[in-house]
Amino acid sequence: MNAQLAASCLGLSLSLCDIYLTRREEKALIWRPPFRITIVKTLYILSRYLGLTCHLYNVVRSAYWKYRYITIPQHSCANYLVFKTSGAQCLAGILHIILILRVYALYNKSLVITLSLILLFSLRFSATIWTVVWNWEAYTAYLKHLCFTTESVNPGPGLTILIVAETLFQIIIHTLTMKKTWMLPGTWSKTPTLTSVLTRDSFYVFIAMFGVMTAVAVGSYGKGPAALFIHPLLVFVVSCAGTRVILRLQRFGNEENPANSQGQQDTFSTVAWDLRTFPRNDLIVMILGSTRGPANRTGLTTVVSDTGAVDSYVLLQDRARPIQES
């Protein structure tokens, strides 16, 4: 139980450090007046504070176990397992939606890409359900590992399918992103550009998720308290990945569009930052790319209207005019 409490405190400490380091960017993106609920703000808040809630619950539950029980009751382990599984899967789902929105925007609402992304997300979700329903013995074995760390999980094919499904999802989603940005100007520039941010973030998120999945696979077959650190680290990595993707794109949008500081707060980069519950006509929600010139700035922009239609625009000297899609 000491290891469980230490692991929970480590996860909470890492999360609080990340919140502190990004507090100014979060204030500028989320809490600036006037406050409006948007899709991306909602995803950010869920990713950030659902992860923080998981860490706080882990610490409280671990401390309660330490000072209340000598031998932890199985029903208490079962409840905790349900919470850990649900929290981790919800955070993973939020990250998936954030990454899917980026790809959807990059491919300019392509019907084929949209259907492919929906199918991909459905298959990933189905793999999670299948693992829980048809491989419950893996989770009951995990109860012994959770409360008595001398036992290994040995979960069989269930965890393998879950890890393979997550890995394939990450490979496909980041390959689609890289395919779109690989050859664009500025992708490999040392000076941050939209395409370089998209490409590098895809690489960072993929490496982080691959590392977490590897740790889950290795830890499930190990013995001892080290495996208890996997869940807090998984929650931290997934929560941090989702929030950092949004913050980096927002920061780049502010650098590329100084007019935002003069009141034009509806134009941001890459994702539908200000897609409101009741959107206005011709609300600019996403810039796919931009280049600076001596007297103008051009960029491909996606616009969402009240009807939900998405059109392409070219920004020329900070004015928008429609163009025909090729």
Every domain of the chain and the residues it spans: 2-258, 259-322
pLDDT of amino acid 291: 33
With a CB cutoff of 8 Å and minimum separation 6, the contacts of 309 are none
Q: Which class would CATH give 2-258?
A: mainly alpha
Chain Cα centroid distance, residue 229: 21
Contacts of 252 (CB under 8 A, 6+ apart): 192, 193, 194, 197, 269, 270
256: alpha, beta or left? (left if phi > 0; alpha if psi -120 to 50): alpha
Q: What is the pLDDT of residue 280?
A: 37
pLDDT of residue 35: 79
The predicted pLDDT at position 156 comes to 60
117-150 per-position pLDDT tens digit:
888 888 888 877 777 776 665 555 555 555 554 4
- pLDDT of 210 reads 84
pLDDT value of position 321: 39
**Residue 220, helix vs strand vs coil:** helix
State the number of CA atoms in the 13 A half-sphere of 234 facing the CB. Answer: 24
Per-residue pLDDT of the chain (326 residues; tens, 9 = 90+): 678 889 899 999 999 999 999 998 888 888 888 778 888 889 999 999 999 999 999 999 888 888 887 777 777 777 787 788 888 889 999 999 988 888 888 787 788 888 888 888 888 888 777 777 766 655 555 555 555 544 455 556 667 777 888 888 888 888 888 787 766 655 555 555 555 666 677 778 888 888 888 887 777 666 667 778 888 999 999 999 899 888 877 766 555 444 443 433 333 333 433 333 233 333 333 333 333 333 333 333 333 333 333 333 332 223 333 434 43
CA dist., res. 19 & res. 250, Å (int): 16
> What are the pLDDT digits (tens) for 49-78?
999 999 999 999 888 888 887 777 777 777
How high is the pLDDT of residue 28?
83
Q: pLDDT at position 84, please?
A: 84
